[in-house]
Structure formats: C-alpha cells, structure tokens
Amino acid sequence: MTQRIGIGLAGFGTVGAGVYKNLLRNAALLEQRIGVQFEVRKIAVRDLKKARDVQAPTEIFTASPDDLLVDPSIDVVVELMGGIDLPLAFVKKAIAAGKIVITGNKALLAEHGREIFQLAAEKRVPVFYEAAVAGGIPIIKSVREAFVGNRFEAIHGILNGTSNYILSRMTDEGLDFAPVLAEAQKLGYAEADPALDVNGWDAAHKAIILASLAYGFWIDPKDVLVEGIEKVTAADIQFAHELGYRIKLLASIKADEKSFIEVRVVPTLIPKTHVLASVNGVFNAVAVKGDVVGEALFYGRGAGQDPTSSSVLGDLAEAAAFMQSPRRCVGFTSHDLYGRCKPVDETISKYYLRLGVEDRPGVLAQIAGTLAKADIGILSVIQPEGLVDGSVPLILTLHDAPYGSMKKTANELASLPCVKGTPLLLHMEAFS
C-alpha cells in the first residue's frame, strides 16, 4: 500500500510556495518512484490575509508555527521561514516533538548547527538541509554520502549567484560595481537590501556548512575570513584579465598537511584556465577534491523557487526512506580526524595588490623595500600610463605569505607619503 506522509510547511514565500506547487505537479512521479504520497496538511505564515501567487486551501493555513508541531498527522516539518531566532526555536521544538526536520536556512545552520545536531542526535531525529547550500545542486548529499570514503583535500565554490552575476557583468561590459548592482536589483537578482549577498556572508554561511560537514566539526564563523565584492572595480577586473585571471567571489575550504582547516570567502583571482573561471551569471559551482575520487565538479542554479524546491523534494524522499527504515545518521556526523581551524592571520596565499602612487622616481623602490622587510616577494608588476584620481595605478602580484603579515604590510604601504588612497588586497587561488 502507498504510504501517506503528512507535511507541515513553515513559511510560504518563494521557496515554500515552490515546494507546494511542485509537490502537486509531480505527486504521481514521486509515488511511482518511492511509493509515497506526500500531503501538505498545514502551512504556517505570518500574514493570513496576504495575496499569494500559488493557491492552497485556506483551511490549512495557520498563523502559528506551533500548530504544525502539535498536529499528530504531520510527520515532517519543512522550515522555510528565514531569519534565525524564530526558526531556531521552531526547529528545536520540532526535534523535541519527534518531527523530522527539513530546512533551507543556511544562516541558522551556520550559526547554530552544533546545538541543532546535538539535539537531533540525542532524540534520534534526522535534520535534512540540501536546500541550504547551492540551491538545486545536490552537494550536501554528495559530500555526506557519495564521497563518504574520501578525505577532502579541498572544496572550492562559487556559492552566491547575485555576486557572481555582478562580477560577470562587470567583466563582460567593463562596468563598475554600483551600476551593475542597480541592474541586478531591477532584474530581481539582488534584494532591495543586498548586503548579505555582496558582503560575502551569504556564501560564507554555505561554506561553513560544507566545511563542517566535510571535516566533522562545526566551524565557528569568527574563524572564517569573509570579504565582499564592493571594492572591486572595473579596472581591477581588467588588470586581472591582463594577468590571465578572472575575479570571482570564491569560497575556499582546505585542510593542510597537519589537518588544520581554513575557510575563507573573498574576491579571488582565479586562473582563466580553471573551470570555475567560466561559471558566469547567477549560476553556482562547487569543485570537490577528495583523496580517492580526485576532482569532481557540480554546476547549476544556486537559488530560485524551482531549483531550491527541487532540493527540498529530495530531502522529503530522504525523510520517507528514514521513516521506512530508521538509521543512525541524523544529517551530520562529528568525528575527531581533523584538528581545528587555522587562525585567519596564519593562512597562506598569493595576493593581488593595487596601489595608487605618485608618478615620480623611487616610488617602486620604496614599495619593494617595504615588501622585502616583511619577507614578501614580488611575482609581477603592472604600471599603466596615465593618472587616475591624481595618482598612477601600481598593480603587484605577490608570492605566498601569511595573511596577517600581508595585511599589516598593506597598511604600512598605505601610510607611505608616495601612496594615495586605500590599497586593494585580493587573494589569488592556484588550486594546487
């Protein structure tokens, strides 16, 4: 007999409505494939009177998320409310009530994953979260299951479609940040308040989840280097092009030879020859390097109603499988095979440094001398002709150096009388 599973949706915004719509559309397909009928029995929303593009029976709407938890006909709750405080309380109460939890809330998991999964383990209640990272790309399931026999040497990802769209347009059209951001907002790719997208934290939350899953302990957000794309200019993109690179907001997750972990999400110069350099527009991509599988690439839409709801449907199938055959895994397995996060200032990288300098003899010697005192070598120098805002651009690429030392040296360079304005320091990724 076909099993019927009751679902409670907490949130009926873009993704929640997409889940409801696509459950109805593909109900027969899901029943044929997994032998289950999913029935949405309650939907919790903030405003019962709000007009909605996707229609559902009015009698299943409620203004109280707790109604989903006390309803014995609901087996699985899907948290798509947004924010942190209310979803955290809801998810913890759902686990305590024995409801299987599905969430797409990346900020919630990045900030409170440790306590959520500790409670889930105690109650033996699974929490599924494929929709929290990279939209419709099945990266969580792949890292947790398909690559379970691998040690992860590195994971690199373009995890925010808004920033990737902006940098792609800046690259293709030679435009600066502000007009492209306005265009992205007009087209609906960026929110009215785009801060989390362009300041790097949306991608950082996703990187924290991936890193924690890959290395078996929850990464503290304060141990992650996060920088946004706001200071990148059209000139920087052109200089990177001349050097053989493209600039992307890149999440870099690595384990060093001593098993210490580093996580950073920063605008990064990527060699044009690397596959991630060709990921454009609103698309996401994740490159995984395991010690057994080698390199694997995942590519697709990282946001939007249908891609994200596709991941929720996959989690619903996982929930159904768990109900039919309960197992130990609750969505996250901790282990002690790795050390801890490497302090941000101790992480090593090559760098791109843009300075505005006076057009007179001896300036380059002063710059080189300051770098030499810090034991930082120069890889290449570009100094185009012509003044920009009263100074000449000086572009340097620099050898591997600790971030703390490089940051301190960049500040020392900024204080030199021959340097005008604020230097721009970007990472360069070699993928070695």
42 closest CA partner among 86, 115, 94: 94
Q: What is the three-class DSSP state of 401?
A: strand
| 42 catalytic residue (yes or no) | no
Phi/psi at 260 (5° precision): -90, 145
Cβ burial 93-115 (10 Å sphere, 16+ → b, else e): bbbebebbbbbbbbbbbbbbbbe
Q: Which amino acid is at 92?
A: K
**How far apart, in whole angstroms, are the C-alpha atoms of residue 262 and residue 403?**
12
67: tokens are 């109604």
The C-alpha angle with vertex 208 and arms to 207 and 212, in degrees rounded to 5, equals: 115
Out of 42, 206, 248, 254, the active site residue is 206
Q: Between the CA of residue 86 and those of 10, 82, 108, 256, what are the distances in Å?
A: 11, 9, 10, 37
Where does residue 258 rank: exposed (0-12), middle (13-18), buried (19+ CB within 10 A)?
exposed
Catalytic residues: 206
